[in-house]
Amino acid sequence: MVLRLALLALAATLGFSVQAQPIRIGAFLAVTGPAAFLGDPEQKTLELYVEKTNAAGGVLGRKLELVSYDSAGDAEKARTYARRLIEQDRVDVIVGGSTTGETMAVVPLAEAAGMPFISLAGAVVIVEPVKKWVFKTPHTDRMACEKIFVDMRARGATRAALISGSGGFDKSMRAECLKVAGKHGVSIVADETYGAGDTDMTAQLTKIKNAAGVQAVLNAGFGQGPAIVTKNYRQLGIAVPLYQSHGVASKQFVKLAGDAAEGVRLPAAALLVAETLPDADAQKKVVVDYKRAYEARFRQEVSTFGGHAYDGLMLALEAMRRAGSTEKAKVRDALESIRGYMGTAGAVNMSAQDHMGLDLTAFRMLEVRQGDWQLVKPGH
């Protein structure tokens, strides 16, 4: 035993590879529970791409090993599993945290342990203020607001009404939109809300309809609420453009709202319209490849959430290649220096001030036309 250890130490100092240890990728994801629609595709994506990477020879000549736990969307469980990943499993990097709550519960652990941590959750607070060891891959709701306001201005609208739900996503997006509206020259002239289980929003929309000079309406919402808002909007015959959020950027929304969804615009990740992107689009290859690989393997429609996990894993591996090792400090520095990486969420340009690295081009403005998405050409 002692001899073996001594030999190992000798081999290590001489730079021999005794028998290459696998690179351990740690993950805690909400695979079950209320946030399963996030965690489930994330888990599947990580499994798929760890497998693919190993089939292609691994990274730095070493295989990958995925250590994943189901946090069920519970921040307390996430903390427990993250501690286990760090202390017992001794992973090299953590890619995970389906929700903002889980992520923020784990941030102090990652910071204290010096563990590169790439979160898959949405909120701005994860990377603002910048935390040394924490990165994230999804775009933020603030960016969605900005994308919408830019589009409103392009159509000549400066006075907008806001209607939002009372869920966590809805509230956070409403707050971000109110914050950045002024910056884009849009004034919010009406601000209505509705409850989680509400069945009719015509009262709120009637108020908006009668508010003076409304030129566009933005619905910050998630779940069935936005579909009801869209139906009520048409019922009342409101003529100004309606914008929905990236929270309902799925075929399900179009299906639920039916004909009422015609003409609705919303910002979404390129993944949603992968095949309709022009060939010249630098992002097309990565999103089409990921979409095809995912759908061929799991026989279900790809979601942007799985894409976030893809980006997280690929960024971690890219950083290891650049660092030439899995040494945590080096991987962290390499992560921070990644520029021009093209992921499913967009072009990533990390810096010491920005641990997300995405800009507004990450979102595409879509319009519902004949029950399908259509890319809005800039300036239309």
Partner 1 sequence: MSAQLLQFLLSGLTVGAIYALVALGFAIIYNASHVINFAQGEFVMIGGMATVSFIDAGLPLPLSIVLAVGAAALVGLLLEKLAIEPARNASVVTLIIITIGASILLRGLASLAWDKKIHALPAFSGEAPIALGGATLLPQTLWVLGVAAVVLALLWWFFNRTLTGSAILAVSHNRLAAQLMGVSVRRVLLVSFGLSAALGALAGILIAPITFTSWDVGVMLGLKGFAAAILGGLGSGPGAVVGGLALGMIESLGAGYLSSAYKDVFAFLIILAALVVLPNGLFGRRTSERV
Does 173 contact partner 1 by CB under 8 A?
no
Indicate which single residue of 260, 264, 274, 323 sits in contact with partner 1 (rule: CB under 8 A): 260
Does 167 contact partner 1 by CB under 8 A?
no
Encoded tokens for 151? 């589009």
Indicate which single residue of 66, 152, 160, 227 sits in contact with partner 1 (rule: CB under 8 A): 227
Nearer to partner 1, 54 or 250 (CB): 250
Does 215 contact partner 1 by CB under 8 A?
no
Map residues 28-67 to x or -, x wherever contact with partner 1 holds by CB under 8 A. Answer: --------xx------------------------------
Cα–Cα distances in angstroms (integers) from residue 131 to residues 41, 118, 174, 308, 340, in the given order: 27, 11, 25, 19, 22
Does 259 contact partner 1 by CB under 8 A?
yes
Does 69 contact partner 1 by CB under 8 A?
no
Does 256 contact partner 1 by CB under 8 A?
yes
Does 228 contact partner 1 by CB under 8 A?
yes
Does 305 contact partner 1 by CB under 8 A?
no
Does 193 contact partner 1 by CB under 8 A?
yes
Give least dist CB 259 to partner 1, A: 7
Indicate which single residue of 194, 290, 294, 363 sits in contact with partner 1 (rule: CB under 8 A): 194
DSSP-derived pairing of the beta strands 23-29 and 64-70:
parallel
Does 199 contact partner 1 by CB under 8 A?
yes
Query: d(Cα 372, Cα 2) in Å, to the nearest integer?
Result: 67
Nearer to partner 1, 105 or 229 (CB): 229
Query: d(Cα 102, Cα 105) in Å, to the nearest integer?
Result: 5
Choose among 243, 235, 187: nearest CA to 213: 187
- One-letter amino acid for residue 373 of the chain: W
Does 195 contact partner 1 by CB under 8 A?
yes
Candidates 53-61, 133-141, 198-206, 331-339: pick the segment binding partner 1 (CB under 8 A).
198-206
Size of the site for partner 1 (CB under 8 A): 32
Facing residues of 265 across strands? Answer: 243, 367
Query: d(Cα 151, Cα 140) in Å, to the nearest integer?
Result: 17
Does 236 contact partner 1 by CB under 8 A?
yes
SS (H, E, C) 203-226: HHHHHHHHCCCCCEEEEECCCCHH
Nearby residues of 150 by Cβ (< 8 Å), 6 or more positions away: 184, 360
Candidates 175-183, 226-234, 289-297, 320-328: pick the segment binding partner 1 (CB under 8 A).
226-234
C-beta neighbour count of 179 within 10 angstroms? 12
Give least dist CB 197 to partner 1, A: 3
Encoded tokens for 265? 């615009």
Give least dist CB 202 to partner 1, A: 4
Helical (H) or strand (E) element with 67: strand 64-70
234-256 per-residue burial string, b: 16 or more CB within 10 A, e: under 16: beeebebbbbbbbbbbbeebbeb
Does 207 contact partner 1 by CB under 8 A?
yes
Residue pair 241/157 in contact (Cβ under 8 Å)? The answer is yes
DSSP state of 39: H
Kindly list the residues in this chain that would bind partner 1 in the complex (CB under 8 A): 36-37, 192-200, 202-204, 206-207, 210, 223-224, 227-228, 231, 234-237, 252, 255-256, 258-260
